[in-house]
């Protein structure tokens, strides 16, 4: 395990990241995602510094921290969405269920099918609700009607959307309300039967009622999936997550069980942040 206690270059603050690797009993039993010494550079700018952490299976892990702290960037490392940006360099190791996703022989398509993603702004395709849900199957070359129907229903039920849309599956996905669209995106993600679902601020554009629905959904989904959620809403992190990681300036400052982190933070920065003194 890395013992990093070096000087933070730009701030002069001492940040301990040893906590990151301290195993918590439930998380370490079966880590779904394993990060070791992950550094990420946008050209000459370093955005992530030596991130090492284990993310437990079938639990909700929240990434919190002020804007620009790298939490979304790290999330996008987990399904290689950063590949799409030019001039990105990543060092270190990221394993998803023991698969080294940055390994030379790893197929990025395979990674993304295993690690689904829900975005901040709900982004259904300009297609029917049905086609939105079965998109993953279509691109995998599955066109058998019975299979598609079955997956569509199961995914929409899984995303708690079936009862609301079952009579209008042929309508455009864009005709739904904001919260429904986000649940459609979740349904689309789980139609691929991923191991892990990444959520990048999934509720930031939603009203409180829609937010509650998504949160309930997240709670239900962790029965089957490992969920990593980035959020700005600390109450939300406290409500839905089992584990919480606090990031600051590209570094993992503190990582632990949510109840511990919110009630008795070990780091001064974490305390300042969750009590609203900065960020």
Partner 1 sequence: MRLGTLVRRGDPFVWLAGSGLGISLLMILGLLGVILVNGLGFFWPKPLLQLTLKDGVVLLGEQVTREVIPTPGVVDAPEQFRLQLKLGNRDLFGADFRWVDEAEITGRERPRDAFYFERREYGPLIGTPVRLTRGGDALATGPDAVWAALAPLIEQAEVDRAAIRTIERDEIGAINFAIERARLDMRAIDLRERQRPEQRLDAERAALDQEVVRQKALYDERQRALEALYERAAQTYLTVRASDGQEKEIRTLDIFRAYPANQLSWAEKTGVYASRIWEFVSGDPRESNTEGGIFPAIFGTVMMVVLMSLVAVPFGVLAALYLREYAKQGTLVRLVRIAVNNLAGVPSIVFGVFGLGFFVYFVGGTIDRAFFPESLPTPTYGTGGILWASLTLALLTVPVVIVASEEALAAVPRSMREASLAMGATKFQTILRVVLPAAAPGIMTGLILAMARGAGEVAPLMITGVVKLAADLPLDGIFPFFHLDRKFMHLGFHIYDVGFQSPNVEAAKPMVYSTTILLLGIVVALNITAIVIRNRLRRKYQTGAF
Query: For partner 1, which is the closer residue by CB, 74 or 274?
Result: 74
Minimum distance, C-beta of residue 17 to partner 1, in the bound complex (Å): 28
Strand order in the sheet with 99-100: 45-56, 31-42, 88-96, 99-100
Minimum distance, C-beta of residue 106 to partner 1, in the bound complex (Å): 13
Write the CB contacts of 164 (distance below 8 Å, at least 6 apart in sequence). 180
Minimum distance, C-beta of residue 126 to partner 1, in the bound complex (Å): 4
Contact 243, 55 (CB under 8 A): yes
The residues that touch partner 1, with contacts defined as CB under 8 A, are 79, 81, 84, 109-110, 112-113, 116-117, 119, 121, 123-127, 135-136, 138-140, 172, 174, 185, 188-189, 192
Minimum distance, C-beta of residue 72 to partner 1, in the bound complex (Å): 12
Query: For partner 1, which is the closer residue by CB, 117 or 159?
Result: 117
Query: For partner 1, which is the closer residue by CB, 36 or 154?
Result: 154
Query: For partner 1, which is the closer residue by CB, 109 or 220?
Result: 109
- Rg (C-alpha) for the chain, rounded Å, is 19
Minimum distance, C-beta of residue 134 to partner 1, in the bound complex (Å): 11
């Amino acid at each position: 395990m890395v013992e990093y206690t070096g000087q933070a270059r730009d701030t002069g603050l001492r940040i301990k990241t040893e906590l990151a690797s301290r195993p918590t009993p439930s998380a370490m039993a079966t880590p779904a995602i394993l990060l070791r010494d992950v550094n990420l550079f946008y050209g000459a700018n370093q955005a992530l510094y030596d991130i090492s952490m284990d993310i437990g299976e079938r639990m909700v892990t929240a990434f919190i921290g002020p804007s620009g702290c790298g939490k979304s960037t790290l999330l996008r490392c987990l399904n290689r969405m950063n590949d799409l940006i030019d001039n990105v360099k990543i060092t270190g190791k990221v394993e998803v269920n023991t698969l080294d996703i940055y390994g030379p022989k790893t197929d990025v398509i395979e990674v993304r099918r295993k690690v689904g993603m829900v975005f901040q702004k709900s982004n259904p395709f300009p297609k029917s609700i049905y086609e939105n849900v079965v998109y993953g199957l279509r691109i995998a070359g599955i066109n058998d009607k019975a299979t598609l129907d079955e997956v569509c229903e199961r995914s929409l039920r899984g995303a708690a959307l079936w009862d609301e849309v079952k009579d209008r599956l042929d309508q455009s996905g864009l005709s739904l309300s904001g919260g429904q669209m986000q649940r459609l995106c979740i349904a689309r993600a789980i139609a691929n039967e991923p191991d892990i679902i990444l959520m990048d601020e999934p509720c930031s554009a939603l009203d409180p009622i829609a937010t509650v629905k998504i949160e309930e959904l997240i709670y239900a989904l962790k029965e089957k999936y490992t969920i990593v959620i980035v959020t700005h809403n600390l109450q939300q992190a406290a409500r839905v997550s089992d584990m919480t990681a606090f990031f600051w300036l590209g570094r993992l400052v503190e990582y632990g069980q949510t109840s511990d982190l919110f009630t008795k933070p070990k780091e001064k920065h974490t305390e300042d942040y969750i009590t609203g003194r900065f960020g």
